[in-house]
Amino acid sequence: MQNARTMLRHANPAGIGEKEPARSFVHVLADTSDKLAGVCSIVEERFAVAGERLDAEARLTRVPAAIVIRADLRDIDNIAAIKKRARDLAKAGKRIFLLEHSSHVGVSQAYALGATLVLPGTINRSRLLAALSDPADSVSSSGTAHSDNAVEAAATAIASMFTAVTLGQPLDIDGTKAAGRQIADRITERGLSEWLTTVRRHHEGTYQHCLLVTGVAIDFGLSLGVGRADLERLYSAAMFHDVGKARIPLAILDKPGRLDAEERALIETHPAEGYEFLKGHNVSPEILDAVRHHHEYLDGSGYPDGLCAESIGDIVRILTISDIFAALIEHRHYKPTMPRTEAYDVLCGMNGKLEKALVHSFKQVALTR
Ligand SMILES: [Fe+2]
Ligand SMILES: [Fe+2]
């Protein structure tokens, strides 16, 4: 084990002679000196950086715009060291975890530790700098960044759900529903557009998708004037709908570009997998039905059961439209984000698959809310 140490680079440019515009301050944490030096050398291209080994005494003296962590999350000492800094971490608007081992458990663990973005695999320099440079920080007038409670609570709920499925542990059904309720409150208060923007800024991949679908489904439900009980069914179904993806390797879920037939067949197991897992829990039949059937189409061309119109309930129909729309507008770093108008046109072009009247009602959600 190497000696604990900290390093400070360009963290305080005042008095260093040449005047340059103040650069945002980024704090880097890593579990080895090599990793620390590697990450710092990238970040310092554009930011003032202070680096610290996780096994050093925590000495964060000023609030950074972002914290970047590169550590093996399979090591419990690293987890403990990150938890010890939880209060300081929460002050930074961005908490980017660079994961060496891409797995659902690793990604879930990072979100449970407060990540706002997880970048798995080999460090991608331009991707990291782009994430750090995103100007849309939530920084208050006092200069103190604040974490976004509804987004982070929901991401944490989804993270613990994926961990539970991966490890075969019981799900926290009530906690997940409570997070869905928080999203509903937030959207009632601030509208759908704000939710979509915030979620796309903070998260990627399956987590982002689940958060987007839940937000879209809630706003769709609100626009249709559904009652409180149906709204609860809707956001619960949306939170749970893709939980079966916890059984699919990240390499396939996050693969840029087209999937081959074998990969597609594997992906298509997720509604039934999610249903089987949730069946053992205290989840209502309507929610189970929505999880199993959110990829069914009215013309019988969907999966896993090839259901036709009369067998597909209202909650499922609403969820399916929300799911497709959210998938189209999600933000992926390797492709441009589809505008909402274009995504709505795709839904309109799915003749015979979706309920026409519902797609028509969805127009104001898709375009104006
Ligand atoms: Fe799905
Ligand atoms: Fe989905």
Report CA(228)–ligand 1 centroid distance (Å): 24
State percent of the chain over pLDDT 90. 56
Report CA(184)–ligand 1 centroid distance (Å): 21
> How confident is the model at residue 114, as a pLDDT?
87
Report residue 22's pLDDT band, with 50, 70 and 90 as the boundaries.
low
> How confident is the model at residue 12, as a pLDDT?
43
Report CA(343)–ligand 2 centroid distance (Å): 15
> How confident is the model at residue 7, as a pLDDT?
52
Report CA(216)–ligand 2 centroid distance (Å): 12
Bridge-partner residues for 99, per DSSP? 120
Average pLDDT over residues 313-321: 96
Least Cα distance to 82 among 49, 48, 106, 46 occurs for 106
Report CA(82)–ligand 2 centroid distance (Å): 31
- Contact status, residue 177 vs residue 232, Cβ threshold 8 Å: yes
For residue 327, pLDDT beyond 90? yes
> How confident is the model at residue 315, as a pLDDT?
94
Ligand nearest the Cα atom of residue 209: 2
Report residue 274's pLDDT band, with 50, 70 and 90 as the boundaries.
very high
Report CA(319)–ligand 1 centroid distance (Å): 10
Domains by residue range for the chain, with CATH: 6-133 (3.40.50.2300), 149-367 (1.10.3210.10)
* pTM of the predicted model as reported, rounded to 2 decimal places: 0.82
> How confident is the model at residue 18, as a pLDDT?
45
Average pLDDT over residues 276-280: 91
Bridge-partner residues for 70, per DSSP? 30, 98
Residues with beta carbon < 5 A to ion ligand 2? 242, 323
Angle formed at CA 84 by CA 78 and CA 89, multiple of 5 degrees:
95
DSSP states along 147-203: --HHHHHHHHHHHHHHHHHHHTPPP-HHHHHHHHHHHHHHHHHH-HHHHHHHHHHH-
Ligand nearest the Cα atom of residue 295: 1
Kindly give, in sequence order, each residue whose CB lies less than 8 Å from that of residue 300, ignoring residues fewer than 6 positions away. 306, 307, 308
Could you read off the pLDDT of 226-239 as tens digits, one per residue? 999 999 999 999 99
Average pLDDT over residues 320-342: 90
Average pLDDT over residues 135-145: 43
Peptide bond into 304 cis (omega under 30): yes
Report CA(348)–ligand 2 centroid distance (Å): 19
- Residue environment code for 267-281, b if the CB has 16+ CB neighbours within 10 A, otherwise e: bebbbbbbbebbeee
> How confident is the model at residue 203, as a pLDDT?
81
Average pLDDT over residues 298-325: 95
- Contact status, residue 217 vs residue 319, Cβ threshold 8 Å: yes
For residue 136, pLDDT beyond 60? no
Could you read off the pLDDT of 43-80 as tens digits, one per residue? 999 999 999 999 987 777 778 889 999 999 999 999 99
CA atoms within 13 A on the CB side of 35: 20
Give the H or E element holding residue 39.
Answer: helix 33-43
- Contact status, residue 264 vs residue 235, Cβ threshold 8 Å: no
Ligand nearest the Cα atom of residue 239: 2
Report CA(238)–ligand 2 centroid distance (Å): 8
Report CA(127)–ligand 2 centroid distance (Å): 25
Q: Cα(82)–Cα(34) distance, rounded to whole angstroms?
A: 18
Ligand nearest the Cα atom of residue 213: 2
How many C-beta atoms lie closer than 10 Å to residue 5's C-beta?
12
Could you read off the pLDDT of 188-221 as tens digits, one per residue? 999 999 999 888 887 878 888 999 999 999 999 9
> How confident is the model at residue 145, as a pLDDT?
41
Angle formed at CA 217 by CA 212 and CA 222, multiple of 5 degrees:
130
Report CA(232)–ligand 2 centroid distance (Å): 18
Ligand nearest the Cα atom of residue 326: 2
* Averaged pLDDT score across all residues of the chain: 86
Could you read off the pLDDT of 83-130 as tens digits, one per residue? 998 888 888 888 999 998 878 888 888 988 889 889 888 898 988 998
Report CA(368)–ligand 2 centroid distance (Å): 22
Report CA(361)–ligand 2 centroid distance (Å): 20
Ligand nearest the Cα atom of residue 238: 2
Report CA(294)–ligand 2 centroid distance (Å): 8
